Structure 1
Amino acid sequence: MSSAVVPELPWLLPGALTRATPVARRTTRDWLVDGLAFLLALGWVLLAFGDSVGPAPEFALNAGPSWLNEVDLVVGLLTTAALWLRRRWPVALAVASLPLAVFSVTAAVALLIILFTVAVHRPFPVAAALVGAHLLVTPVYNQVRPDPALPFWAAMIWTASFLGGVLAWGMFVRARRQLVTSLRERAHRAEAEQQLRVAQARQLERTRIAREMHDVLAHRISLLSLHAGALEFRPDAPPEEVARAAGVIRASAHAALQDLREVIGVLRAEVGGAEVETPERPQPTLADVPALIGECRAAGVRVSTEDLVVEPATVPAAVGRSAYRIVQEGLTNARKHAPGAVVRVRLAGRPGDGLTVEIRNPWPVGEPPEPAIPGAGTGLVGIAERVTLAGGRLAYGRDLAGDFRLAAWLPWPA
């Protein structure tokens, strides 16, 4: 059934005479449910009327004046036809059909369907009030159309059981739909929050890289200022010193432009209102990877290393920092998800071929023996952003050998 809520009395709303009330279109499922409800109510109309005019009326479902049977047939057919409007005006139909509950037998099923619709689509106080109103007219109905097979109080209990069952069933369906809607909204919200966390992780990684480049740029520019000042205050310096200072200025300017180009690539958005912060300690490089592995070994992690880097002293500082962060993230993930496993770290590369960093550990079997280390799940996102900004490639996941593999290639110019 459609869950759209539409006012039952649109003519009472301001401006309703000048604009139409939007109504949700029925889905295929709605048409099937409405058709089944219509056929069920129509079948009861025909059954009840045929029983009341049969050859043995003393065995009729309900007794009463003979002329009332023809009126009841018309009322039952009209109420059954009104079921097609129950989605739009369930409360209005329940109120309008209340007088029919005084005498109509043929409209009984249609009335129950209308009350069920009210219980599904309207709050509990509204549904309970309408069910209570229909229950209050039950004594009058039993006086007008007494049941020859049941005494008065038995008929009252029977009718109250039907009305209570319809109300309970409708409230159950309503609660279940609200639960499904709530779970769907929570899933959408969790997905949106995860995307936001990923975006924040990327932005934080860009900011972190920009801070790392601060010291390098400051060093280049201060070197430029120093040599330019020397040329300004000593214009009569020997040509050899002028040429040497000019060469240093040219090399420093070229390196500063390269670093500045990396910073501009990181800072894609304009940042305003930045506060002065305490300078961070010097950032790690490739030469600090052995110390990092030593710290992990001291903490109990079994790490095997394979260093095949040719001329490691010539690795650019930015590439070395990225390699350090990749090894750090790989060892952290191994401690979190595969405690006790042997972690293999492999470094290889040469100028012109690039630097390859690979961390591999066996895939964990079963649950970890101790509580898992909590994490936000954005570490690999930040590493991927760092490698992409450096112009490299990153791959991670389970390989054909069944191990978890984190591998990155970083450009290393000749």
Structure 2
Amino acid sequence: MTRAEYSWLLPSDLADPDDPAAGPGRPRRRTVRDWIVDTVAFVLATLVGLLAAETSRRLNDSAAVVLADQLLGLGACLALWLRRRWPVGVALAVSVASTIAPATGGAVMVALFGLAVRVPFRTLAQVAAVALVAGSAQVFLRPDPSLSAPASLLVGLVLILLVTGWGMLVRSRRQLVVALRERAHRAESEAELRAQQAQRAAREAIAREMHDVLAHRLTLLSVHAGALEFHPDAPSAQVARAAGVIRDSAHEALQDLREIIGVLRAPGDRDDGHGERPQPTLATLDALIAESRRAGMKVTLDNDAVDPATVPTATGRTVYRIVQEGLTNARKHAPGTEVTVTVRGRPGEGLTVEVHNPAPEGPVAPVPGSGQGLIGLTERATLAGGRLTHGPGPGGGFTLRAWLPLPS
């Protein structure tokens, strides 16, 4: 059942705050439940007033006094229909009228109950005190012949305490309902916000992974395709070699892209038929260097790190991505230069990765790039508990250096 379907069961005090029928300076629209409650309250107050009006007859009052008592009682009961809008005013009016009109007794009880539901305790105590004083005055001005004065005062005090206590209990329960509803709304909003943040983080992680994985492959494609375009008269062996690199790079790029897209699918949705390839680690760094050399790059590897099997998988993958990005940038911005890759580390001291390429000789055709790779690497290193720096190296060129923690 939706909120709109059960809202008619709620009192207007718990109505939706976005209800267009309610606004500043005007009461909320009565619900069906409010009409039922107000009608029952009016009937009960009228019945109690009729019973209390018998006091006038037992006192042998004149017909005019009895009629005035009944009219005041009827007016007090009719005033109850306004108690939702003016609870304090209605309660004070019927309490003062009860001083001389016993027929208003039922209306006083209903008004005090409604007041206890809607106002703070301090205001309720003040109005209840007025009602108690008015009831005490009635005991002496219009005494009930069937009860003594002390008994009448005790009955009046007990009735006022009962209806105000009941009303305060209802008010506390409604406040609890409102607090729980606000807490539920807040929890729902926080859960939605956390879901959005998690979705955004997942998208950023996928975007970084796609850049780190595909930039290396696509750069190979771009470089060799550009070489074929600008050297159409190259020897057939060189053309065949470049075409082979392009074919292999395109195949590897498709494989990597298939793996990344597979992350977005449920575990049972994989249908590529090739299974999931192992993620790159420090042990696969030699294969990356060999691939770059086959593509025509001059790469020198100085790997004096610990046994790759002892390096955590996440750390090894980060080292691989840093070297891969450094080779990609060198291939794009300094083609033909000799790239030096240095990996050193000891347990407890951490791993240091450095990729350096000298400045290129002669002009270099600009290759489009967004710089997101270095930003992604910086985030990777930071999340791994390390740090990454990059910029011009000594004697020119470009140096990419990172340090990653390595537990003992």
Question: Smaller-chain TM-score range?
Answer: 0.5 to 0.7
Q: CA deviation at 1:64?
A: 6.3
Whether the 8 Å contact between 2:91 and 2:111 is mirrored in structure 1 is yes
Q: Which amino acid aligns with 2:68?
A: V
**Pair 1:3 & 2:13 matched:** yes
Alignment CA distance shift 1:223-1:97 (3 Å):
same
Tell me, in whole angstroms, the C-alpha distance in 1 between the residues paired with 2:244 and 2:110: 92
Q: CA deviation at 1:257?
A: 7.8
Alignment CA distance shift 1:74-1:259 (3 Å):
same
Task: Map 1:169-184 onto structure 2 (within 5 A).
Answer: 169-184=166-181
> Once the two structures are superposed, what CA deviation does each residue of 1:332-373 show, in whole Å capped at 9, x if it has no partner?
xxxxxxxxxxxxxxxxxxxxxxxxxxxxxxxxxxxxxxxxxx
- SS of the aligned residue for 1:102 comes to coil
Q: CA deviation at 1:237?
A: 3.5
Alignment CA distance shift 1:51-1:148 (3 Å):
closer
Tell me, in whole angstroms, the C-alpha distance in 1 between the residues paired with 2:66 and 2:14: 37
Q: CA deviation at 1:260?
A: 7.3
Alignment CA distance shift 1:138-1:50 (3 Å):
closer
Q: Which amino acid aligns with 1:105?
A: P
Aligned to 1:101: 98
Tell me, in whole angstroms, the C-alpha distance in 1 between the residues paired with 2:251 and 2:233: 26
Q: CA deviation at 1:40?
A: 0.9
Selected match of 2:43 from 24, 39, 43: 39
Tell me, in whole angstroms, the C-alpha distance in 2 between the residues paired with 1:106 and 1:70: 10
Alignment CA distance shift 1:162-1:206 (3 Å):
same
**Pair 1:215 & 2:219 matched:** no
Alignment CA distance shift 1:188-1:119 (3 Å):
same
Aligned to 1:121: 118
Whether the 8 Å contact between 2:102 and 2:138 is mirrored in structure 1 is no
Please tell me whether Structure 1 or Structure 2 has the larger radius of gyration of its CA atoms.
Answer: 2
> Once the two structures are superposed, what CA deviation does each residue of 1:364-396 show, in whole Å capped at 9, x if it has no partner?
xxxxxxxxxxxxxxxxxxxxxxxxxxxxxxxxx
Identical pairs, percent:
47
| Structure 1: 4+ residue segments shifted above 6 A | 63-66, 232-235, 257-267
Q: Which amino acid aligns with 1:24?
A: R
Whether the 8 Å contact between 2:117 and 2:168 is mirrored in structure 1 is yes
- SS of the aligned residue for 2:117 comes to helix
Q: Which amino acid aligns with 1:185?
A: E
TM-score, length-normalised on structure 1?
0.53
Tell me, in whole angstroms, the C-alpha distance in 2 between the residues paired with 1:164 and 1:145: 22
Tell me, in whole angstroms, the C-alpha distance in 2 between the residues paired with 1:241 and 1:316: 34
- Cα RMSD (Å): 3.9
Whether the 8 Å contact between 1:207 and 1:266 is mirrored in structure 2 is no
Tell me, in whole angstroms, the C-alpha distance in 1 between the residues paired with 2:202 and 2:49: 72
Aligned to 2:236: 239
- SS of the aligned residue for 2:98 comes to helix
Aligned to 2:203: 206
Tell me, in whole angstroms, the C-alpha distance in 2 between the residues paired with 1:315 and 1:70: 96
> Once the two structures are superposed, what CA deviation does each residue of 1:223-250 show, in whole Å capped at 9, x if it has no partner?
2355357658977641221233134335
Task: Map 1:163-312 onto structure 2 (within 5 A).
Answer: 163-224=160-221, 226-227=223-224, 237-249=234-246, 252=249, 256=253
Tell me, in whole angstroms, the C-alpha distance in 1 between the residues paired with 2:192 and 2:14: 30
Of Structure 1 and Structure 2, which has the larger fraction of its residues in helix? 2
Selected match of 1:24 from 4, 28, 33: 28
Instruction: Could you tell me which runs of 5 or more consecutive residues in structure 1 were left unpaired when the two chains were aligned.
Output: 6-18, 268-285, 287-308, 322-414
Whether the 8 Å contact between 1:206 and 1:266 is mirrored in structure 2 is no
Greater Cα shift, 142-151 or 222-231: 222-231
Q: CA deviation at 1:180?
A: 1.4
**Pair 1:83 & 2:93 matched:** no
Q: Which amino acid aligns with 2:32?
A: T
